Homo-oligomer: A and B are copies of this chain.
């Protein structure tokens, strides 16, 4: 039996529901085909909507990337807030590292590297990255400072080591066939624990 036409379901949704559906479709298309090769028409097809309808919600692929980043940040913030409210700062730290840098697929890592390349020559996406980077740095530094038990701990210095390390793990995930990020994650956590406690 053929599945019911998804277009009908989507078109019948609310504005917010349609927006989410378009974002899901855009994310899937970008991961599958890359940012450059994906067209608004591809995204419309994946969302089972017409292209003019997509443009009612998002002006461009760039606009979709900004909204996807916003959504990711909002979701991470909710998850962090839930963990931190329970006093689990360490769990929140581990969650963020695993979720954003370790548990991503190789295809998503490829998209990250492509978007980094794009950000270097697209001022709007570059500005988005600067903003995300600053927010991320502020959160990591505060979390690390709360977790430290050793005298004279330098949260900023530790963040500035783990930040490029996490990015490099994403590069390897994208580039090195069969790269397993788990040992890199274990070494990263050991390094963090060492610096937080002063115990090698």
Find out whether the CB atom of B168 lies under 8 angstroms from the CB atom of A130. Answer: no
List chain B residues, Cβ under 8 A from A117.
110, 113-114, 116-117
Compute how far the CA of A34 lies from the CA of B119 in the bound complex, rounded to whole angstroms.
Answer: 13
A24 within 8 A of B: no
A165 to chain B, nearest CB (A): 5
Contacting A121 at CB < 8 Å: which of B34, B171, B200?
Answer: B34
Find out whether the CB atom of B130 lies under 8 angstroms from the CB atom of A120. Answer: no
Q: Chain A: how many interface residues by the 8 Å CB criterion?
A: 37
Find out whether the CB atom of A120 lies under 8 angstroms from the CB atom of B116. Answer: no
In chain A, positions 113-131 with a C-beta closer than 8 Å to chain B are 113-114, 116-117, 119-121, 126, 129-130
Find out whether the CB atom of A116 lies under 8 angstroms from the CB atom of B113. Answer: yes
Contacting A168 at CB < 8 Å: which of B119, B164, B176, B183?
Answer: B164
Find out whether the CB atom of A165 lies under 8 angstroms from the CB atom of B161. Answer: yes
List chain B residues, Cβ under 8 A from A133.
175-176
Find out whether the CB atom of B120 lies under 8 angstroms from the CB atom of A174. Answer: yes
Report the nearest B residue to A34, measured CB to CB.
B121
Extra contacts besides A164-B184, A168-B169 (17): CB < 8 Å: A34-B121, A110-B117, A113-B113, A114-B117, A114-B120, A116-B174, A116-B175, A129-B175, A133-B175, A160-B187, A161-B165, A161-B184, A161-B187, A164-B165, A164-B172, A165-B165, A198-B200
